[in-house]
Chains A and B, each alone.
Chain A
Amino acid sequence: MIDRLELHALADGELEGAERQRVSERIANCEESAAEFQAIMRLKQVVAEKCHAPSYEESWQECRGRLAEIDSTRRIESFVGRYAWALCSMFLVFILGAGILNRSAADGLRAGDVPAMMSSLSSVGSAAPGEAREWIRKEGGVATSLESVRTFQVIDRAVGLHEGHKVLAVRLRDDVGDFAVLVVPGARVVDGVAPVSGRSDLSSGTLGRASCVTWQEGPVALILTGDRRVDELCELADALRGVQR
């Protein structure tokens, strides 16, 4: 009996030349080897004939879908990879540009400027609430209810210029403590404040320990600041504006 591995190799077409010749001759002269070789060939034949490919169309379509997804992802990654520097640069330029435009707006004020604004003013002395209200109306061009809703005491009034804006300030006192209202004609607060929750007319921000609430009366920006909670400042703002809530 010939080495069975050689019979399998011959059946599989893996033998060539002299080796193939040698094994073929041995098969021709050995019944047992010939029977084994024939059995191997029959088995190979039956497996090849009776084992068919399964249905595959649906699975192939799913494969094609996955390949399309891969291509799509690659395209996006390629684009982002190639132009990432440009996208980042554009984004940075956009942010810087927006910031510069925001800050250089002719009528723009920043809440953070309030301390510097107040330190640049010159006192014009105290006054009765009614007199202070008239002063604001005349100098600032805006009407307030300074004397009508709550008992305020006017501690001081001041006026001056800040970055080209005329600024009026009235320091007031009530039974809780001091606070101040700044009136800036021809300006609006554009930075450092955010809308007060539930209020479309008021915005608020913080100035160190103090808070501020701002609002707009036509072309005039008003800033109310004091060491109080925002909701308390909102109440004071409503009182100054004569708004009933």
Chain B
Amino acid sequence: MLFGRRGNRDAFERQAEKVFPSVLGTALRLTRNRDEAEDLAQEAIVRAYEAFDRFDGTNFKAWMLRIVTNLYINRYRQRQRGPQMASLEDENIIEPVASEGEEPDRLLFDEMVGGEVEDALAKVPEDFRVAVVLSDIEGLSYQEIADATGVPIGTVRSRLARGRAALRRALEGYARKEGYLKVNE
């Protein structure tokens, strides 16, 4: 049995090492703090290892991201920042992602560097940011995001659309501040 457990750990480590960059990256984008992100990611790994015998064997990355997101929602967010910052009252109002003209988009996306995109993403309200991170960075499906965040798929769709619109506005604001875009564009 001891050999079996050792083999179990090897199997877990092999899979966990592959997805750990995503786990830590997601934790970092949720907490926006390196130390807290490392704590969160490590705690998620420990929780996952303890529950590894209950993993259904389908999508390890989605399972890990579900654990880290749940852990964040249940522990870190309540402790650190209290209630969510995004208003969900106007959930049916979906703003456009596109801007008025084509040129600003090209300028905006071509000039931006990674750190600036990360900064803009950090400005997106938390529930929307979680959806954008899990979808656009980690590639999770709507169902997997719904499972990870504990909300219906319809809410995931809404949060994604609103999160992207908010991200677009944050990117534009950043670009105007940095001079990539002129004020009248």
Contact = CB atoms under 8 A, between A and B. Distances in A.
Interface residues of A, number: 36
A47 B108 CA distance: 12
A63 B45 contact: yes
A46 B96 CA distance: 17
A74 interface: yes
Contact of B2 (A46, A52, A67, A75): A75
B142 interface: yes
A63 B157 CA distance: 34
Interface string B1-41: 11001100100110011001110110011000010011001
A113 interface: no
A28 interface: no
A48 interface: yes
A66 interface: yes
A101 to B, nearest CB: 37
Interface in B78-133: 94, 96-99, 102, 105, 109, 112-114, 117-118, 121, 132
By CB atoms of chain A within 10 A, which of B99, B132, B160 has the most? Answer: B160
Contacts of B20: 56, 59-60, 63
A5 interface: yes
Contact of A67 (B46, B109, B158): B46
Given A59-B42, A63-B16, A66-B46, A52 B157 contact: no
Nearest to B142: A14
Contacts of B136: 43-44, 47-48
Nearest to A69: B46
Interface stretch (B53-61, B161-169, B176-184): B161-169
Contacts of A54: 21, 24-25, 28, 34, 37
A53 B22 contact: yes
Interface string A53-91: 110100110111011001100110010000000000000
Contact of A59 (B38, B50, B167): B38
B135 interface: yes
Interface stretch (A31-39, A132-140, A144-152): A31-39
B94 A42 contact: no
A60 B38 CA distance: 9
B141 A14 contact: yes
Chain A interface, >50% SS class: helix
B15 to A, nearest CB: 12
Nearest to B168: A43
A12 B46 contact: no
B137 to A, nearest CB: 5
B63 interface: no
B156 to A, nearest CB: 10
Contacts of B157: 5, 8-9
A50 interface: yes
B49 A40 contact: no
Nearest to B132: A47
Nearest to B154: A5
Contacts of A60: 17, 20
Contacts of A62: 38, 42
A40 B99 CA distance: 11
Nearest to B26: A53
Contacts of B112: 46, 50
Contact of B21 (A38, A40, A53): A53
A46 B42 contact: no
A110 interface: no
Contact of A12 (B114, B121, B142): B142
7 contacts: A8-B157, A12-B160, A40-B164, A43-B167, A51-B121, A59-B42, A67-B46
Given A53-B25, A54-B25, A64-B13, 11 more contacts: A8-B157, A9-B157, A36-B98, A39-B96, A44-B164, A46-B112, A47-B121, A50-B114, A51-B114, A59-B20, A62-B42
Give the top 10 A-B pairs by smallest Cβ distance, nearest first.
Answer: A39-B98, A53-B21, A50-B114, A50-B117, A39-B97, A47-B136, A4-B94, A46-B109, A63-B45, A36-B98
